[in-house]
Amino acid sequence: MQDNIRVERPSFVTHLECSMTGETYAADQLHQLSRVGRPLLVRYDLAGAGAALTRDALAARPTDLWRWRELLPVRRAGNIVSLGEIETPLIAIPKSGGPGAIVKDEGRLPTGSFKARGLVMAVSMARELGVTRIAMPTNGNAGAALAAYAARCGIETVILCPEETPEVNVREIAAQGARVYRVNGQIDECGAIVGRGAAEGRWFDFSTLKEPYRIEGKKTMGLELAAQCGWELPDAIFYPTGGGTGLIGMWKAFDELERLGWIGSKRPRMYAVQASGCAPIVRAYEAGEEHAERWENAATVAAGIRVPRAVGDFLILRAVRESGGRALAVGDPAILQAVDACARKDGLLLCPEGGATLAAYHQAMRDGLVDPEERTVLFNCATGLKYPLPEAGAWLDKDAVGDLGAL
């Protein structure tokens, strides 16, 4: 098998376009938001890509993220900054989920989270386009992924974390060579500082959807899922939704795969899962709005989805509605119960955001939205090992263990 990150293969990228107005922008250039302040989407010559790459040729490649090169923006193999972006496994959770429940375990990616998908693409493009200094606001995992990939290729990084960012994230960001700060505010307030610095020319702004290539990395979740499911998409997807890049990316992936003729028109119902303590997308979904207002006093144990305002709100809502899915909120107690049940019964330790999808899945089954037999994929976006677990372990004196029957 050929090594996907060393072989030169053509990218079929043609241009970028504004997700709101459709206005076009040139490929192979640095971009932030469009002129109207909305995310840019990368477009490809899919006819050309389909002629260059067949599903059989794809099946002969190693299964990592870089097998999709024709559908990704990086032009030269030498710019790929890889830490081993493996295909993440699908794991049944029959006891804590049910007969149809499958977890896609994104915690197996570099730095232990799905943020690696977006950041490996964005950093590789930054390298290709000559960026030397990057700043980003993060609830934790995105910052860890950015720090690792940037360190690897010598790009300097400044990372701003809200005060409630998990401790492990702040520390791993620093260990991986970034300058990291804790800010007394939420992620959008950290983002405002990053934006100010970018305007002053101090760094390139890597905020969610403010540069166009992270979404292309996250898109590979959808491409990979389609290939793993034998080009027959699942019935439903539960996705923990903060900035929503992954949900938007998967929706884009399915569209590109249909244009390639590799899948049909069937789509999974997309369920955007938020925490009750920070649910701007759910509120907008229920009110029938196209955009979501900022959620004040956001608070949840699931830090990754504590995002009061998402710049891609309308894209999330559009995908959820077009798919026949829904936006759902679950409370912290249900999230923690789901994490506990999945570990104890099925041996799989989810992150809190992954626990949120399992809690929302049960809620959706109770409400008749999902049938237990339907093939349903829950995204576990990070390894559960990053998060505090309850104290455990009674003491035993080796010299005084008499009756082993007590053990």
**Chain residues 140-159 in contact with a copy of itself, contact rule CB under 8 A:** 147-152, 158
Asked if 349 interacts with a copy of itself (CB under 8 A), we say: yes
Q: Which stretch binds a copy of itself (CB under 8 A): 23-31, 39-47, 105-113, 299-307?
A: 105-113
The closest of 41, 309, 271, 284 to 187, measured between CA atoms, is 309
CB 117 within 8 A of CB 221: yes
Among 20, 86, 229, 336, binds a copy of itself (CB under 8 A): 86
Dihedral, 214, 385, 104, 180 alpha carbons, nearest 10: -10
Among 35, 36, 99, 202, binds a copy of itself (CB under 8 A): 202
Edge-to-edge strands, sheet with 90-92 = 90-92, 101-105, 376-380, 236-240, 269-275, 326-330
Q: Quote the least distance from Cβ 275 to a copy of itself, whole Å.
A: 21
Restricted to residues 233-292, the positions that interact with a copy of itself (CB under 8 A) are none
- Closer of 27 and 192 to a copy of itself (Cβ): 192
CB 189 within 8 A of CB 166: no
Among 20, 27, 52, 90, binds a copy of itself (CB under 8 A): 90
- Closer of 74 and 351 to a copy of itself (Cβ): 351
Q: Quote the least distance from Cβ 134 to a copy of itself, whole Å.
A: 12
Asked if 404 interacts with a copy of itself (CB under 8 A), we say: yes
Residue indicated by tokens 């006891």: 95
Restricted to residues 43-72, the positions that interact with a copy of itself (CB under 8 A) are 59, 62-64
Q: Which two tokens stand for residue 116?
A: 């690696």
- Closer of 207 and 323 to a copy of itself (Cβ): 207
Residue indicated by tokens 């300097």: 156
CA distance 183 to 251: 33
Asked if 170 interacts with a copy of itself (CB under 8 A), we say: yes
CA distance 111 to 146: 9
- Closer of 82 and 241 to a copy of itself (Cβ): 82
